[in-house]
């Protein structure tokens, strides 16, 4: 086990070697996954990923190295590779990298577990999950279930961070996620529904996320889609969207394009660019809309109190009353924009450089009840859940395909419809919102970004919302 003294030593050696900035992170992720097929455990997986990441700025060039070899020789080699990488970068930069000034933390924090993951016997975890699955009635005649799978995943993320300009952070965040897929058919029609439920905390998360209720609800959605739903109406009409789709849209259409590295073109060849490179009108959408990214929500899947550059986390207002506001920054992008970092640097593991990421992105709730949202619609569709989505690499044109959706006629919910496709620009989406529900629900996700890819735990949330006159 490595300690802070060793990390401080590496930082000191980096600075003595001529680096302008050095950051050393010990990062350990202990995991356990259990895989169930049709209610029966079919395998387990136990990853342990631990090592040291070193990042240095040398003559304006940025270098990163990592190693799982924690011997003196291994750490020396990693430092020399980081400096060599930064030096080689420095010969090929026009704009020198600067890590922007920030109020840095000297802190230790951890997320407490009511049911300790390390103490709870694995057989108790298995039994608890099997019992939950057994309690679910999968029968929905004439729908047939061809298979269902569940994976239980826990990981305990432990980090020690030291930077050359004074950050010292120790953190421990346990997380639990459940991912399931149900494959169903009715006659010639087949469909599947996957879902992820997750939060930070101990094994109590399994109860908190209400696995049985969620699966039951998804079985009902599949039944509705496969057995009862008809073809959807087409044309321009009002649409009410459920929190699941609203949360996803906040992540995809607001969160990603607000990442400052994407705005600067650093992700141009991978996850793409952002409409916020060009969009200059501050009033972006309805004044009703406020979109926030907040890493500090207790129990959230994207929870942290200090980012991986040692900056204290806070709420970020990405859209405030319809106006585009903050970008998500790490210290490097903050320096370019001449602002202070808002603590968005996250790294998946010791092999990953900290890059700009979201945490928990959501639309702030309004004051409508669900009934009020519906009663004012003469002709429209309510889309409750989605089964497919994508968006272009400027984050401008998105597509959502409904799994469970209903006709709205004269202010009342009507028959279910299937395969409703909403293709809409981000601008149209936010401009056409005329009412926002007072509810707020979060969904869990694993956000993808970076090269090499860095999967990152996030929450996405929102209330029910109403869009007027959009094309289906």
Partner 1 sequence: MIDPQVLAENASRKLSNLVDEYVVNANIVSSVMVKYADGEVTVTQSWKDYILDVYVSKNSKINTSTYTTHDPIEVLSKLPSLIEKLTASPLYTPLPEPTGSPLSIIDSRLKDSSLSGDISGLLGSIDVKSYGNVAGMIEISYSRSHYIGSNGLDSGFEITEFNGYFRVFRGDDSGQWAWVSTFYDESLARGALDKASSLAELCSSLPKENIETGYYRVLLSPMVSGNLLESVARFSTAGSVILGFSFLQGKKAGDIIASEKLTLREVPRNNRLPNYRGFDDEGVATMDKPIIERGVFKGFLHNSKTAKLMNEKTTGNAGWILPRIFNLEVEPGDIRESELLEALGDGLYATNNWYTRFQNFLEGTFSTVTRDALLIVRRGKPIACSRRARLAGSLPEMLSSIEDLSRERWQIKWWEVRAPIILPHMLIKKITVTSTTL
Q: Within positions 167 to 206, which residues make up the interface with partner 1, using CB under 8 A?
A: 181-183, 185, 190-192
Torsion of CA 251, 384, 181, 144, to 10 degrees: -170
The C-alpha R_g of the chain, in whole angstroms, comes to 24
- Tell me how far apart the alpha carbons of residues 241 and 465 are, in angstroms, rounded to a whole number: 5
Q: Does 122 bind partner 1 (CB under 8 A)?
A: yes
The set of residues, in sequence order, having a beta carbon less than 8 Å from that of 78 and lying 6+ positions away, is 52, 54, 65, 66, 67, 69
Q: Does 269 bind partner 1 (CB under 8 A)?
A: yes
Q: Does 399 bind partner 1 (CB under 8 A)?
A: yes
Whichever of 173 and 424 has its CB closer to partner 1, that residue is 424
Q: How far is the CB of 191 from partner 1 (least distance, A)?
A: 5
- x/- contact string, 85-104, with partner 1 (CB under 8 A)? xx-xx-xxxxx---------
Whichever of 120 and 339 has its CB closer to partner 1, that residue is 120
Whichever of 112 and 122 has its CB closer to partner 1, that residue is 122
**CA-wise closest residue to 385 among 208, 193, 251:** 193
* Binders of partner 1 in range 421-450 (CB under 8 A): 423, 425
Q: At what angle do helices 211-223 and 122-134 cross, to 10 degrees?
A: 40
Whichever of 61 and 202 has its CB closer to partner 1, that residue is 61
How far is C-alpha 66 from the geometric centre of its chain's CA atoms?
24
As a whole number of Å, the end-to-end CA separation of the chain is: 57
Quick one: DSSP state of residue 163? E
Grouping H, G, I as helix, E, B as strand and the rest as coil, residue 432 is: coil
Among the candidate windows 69-77, 168-176, 360-368, 458-466, which touches partner 1 by CB under 8 A? 69-77
Among the candidate windows 81-89, 152-160, 169-177, 405-413, which touches partner 1 by CB under 8 A? 81-89
* Binders of partner 1 in range 279-338 (CB under 8 A): none
Which of 235, 280, 410, 452 touches partner 1 by CB under 8 A? 452
Whichever of 399 and 438 has its CB closer to partner 1, that residue is 399
* Binders of partner 1 in range 403-422 (CB under 8 A): 419
Quick one: DSSP state of residue 73? H
* Binders of partner 1 in range 337-356 (CB under 8 A): 351, 353
Q: Does 389 bind partner 1 (CB under 8 A)?
A: yes
Which of 3, 18, 45, 230 touches partner 1 by CB under 8 A? 45
* Binders of partner 1 in range 369-388 (CB under 8 A): 387-388
SS (H, E, C) 238-298: EEEECHHHHHHHHHHHHHHHHEHHHHCCCCCCCCCCCHHHCCCCCECCCCCCCEEECCCCC
- Tell me how far apart the alpha carbons of residues 101 and 109 are, in angstroms, rounded to a whole number: 23
Q: Does 141 bind partner 1 (CB under 8 A)?
A: no
Q: Does 390 bind partner 1 (CB under 8 A)?
A: yes
Tokens for 73, please give them.
């020789």
Which of 41, 136, 227, 339 touches partner 1 by CB under 8 A? 41
Q: Does 37 bind partner 1 (CB under 8 A)?
A: yes
Whichever of 265 and 411 has its CB closer to partner 1, that residue is 265
Tokens for 151, please give them.
């994976």
């Amino acid at each position: 086990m490595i300690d802070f003294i060793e990390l401080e030593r590496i930082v000191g050696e980096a600075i003595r070697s001529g680096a302008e900035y050095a950051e050393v992170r010990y990062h350990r992720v202990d995991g356990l996954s259990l895989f169930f097929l049709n209610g029966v455990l079919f395998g387990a997986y136990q990853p342990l990923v631990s090592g040291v990441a070193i990042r240095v700025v040398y003559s304006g060039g940025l270098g990163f190295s990592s190693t799982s070899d924690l011997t003196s020789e291994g750490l020396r080699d990693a430092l020399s590779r980081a400096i060599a990488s930064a030096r080689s970068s420095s010969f090929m930069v026009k704009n020198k990298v600067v890590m922007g000034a920030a109020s840095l933390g000297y802190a230790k924090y951890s997320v407490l577990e009511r049911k300790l993951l390390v103490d709870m016997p694995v057989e108790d975890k298995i039994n608890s999950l099997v019992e939950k699955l057994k309690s679910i009635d999968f029968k929905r005649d004439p729908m047939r279930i061809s298979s269902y799978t569940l994976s239980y995943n826990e990981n305990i993320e432990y980090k020690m961070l030291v930077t050359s300009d004074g950050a010292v952070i120790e953190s421990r965040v346990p997380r639990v996620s459940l991912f399931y897929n149900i494959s169903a058919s009715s006659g010639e029609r087949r469909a599947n529904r996957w879902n992820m439920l997750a939060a930070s905390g101990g094994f109590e998360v399994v109860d908190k996320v209400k696995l049985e209720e969620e699966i039951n609800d998804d079985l009902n959605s599949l039944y509705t889609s496969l057995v009862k739903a008809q073809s959807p109406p087409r044309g321009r009409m009002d649409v009410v969207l459920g929190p699941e789709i609203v949360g996803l849209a906040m992540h995809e259409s607001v969160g990603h394009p607000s990442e400052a590295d994407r705005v600067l073109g650093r992700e141009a060849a991978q996850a793409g660019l952002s409409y916020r490179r060009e969009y200059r009108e501050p009033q972006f959408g309805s004044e009703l809309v406020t979109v926030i990214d907040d890493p500090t929500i207790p129990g959230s899947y994207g929870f942290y109190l200090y980012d991986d550059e040692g900056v204290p986390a806070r709420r970020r207002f990405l859209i405030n009353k319809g106006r585009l506001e903050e970008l998500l920054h790490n210290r490097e992008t903050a320096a370019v924009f001449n602002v202070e970092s808002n603590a968005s640097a996250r790294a998946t593991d010791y092999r990953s450089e900290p890059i700009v990421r979201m945490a928990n992105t959501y639309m702030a709730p309004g004051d409508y009840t669900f009934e009020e949202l519906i009663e004012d619609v003469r002709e429209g569709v309510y889309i409750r859940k989605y089964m497919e989505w994508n968006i272009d690499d400027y984050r401008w044109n998105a597509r959502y395909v409904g799994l469970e959706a209903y006709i709205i006629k004269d202010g009342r919910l009507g028959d279910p419809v299937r395969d409703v496709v909403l293709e809409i620009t981000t601008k149209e989406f936010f401009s056409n919102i005329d009412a926002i529900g007072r509810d707020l629900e979060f969904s869990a996700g694993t956000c993808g970004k970076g090269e090499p890819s860095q999967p990152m735990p996030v929450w996405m949330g929102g209330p029910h919302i109403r869009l007027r006159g959009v094309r289906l």
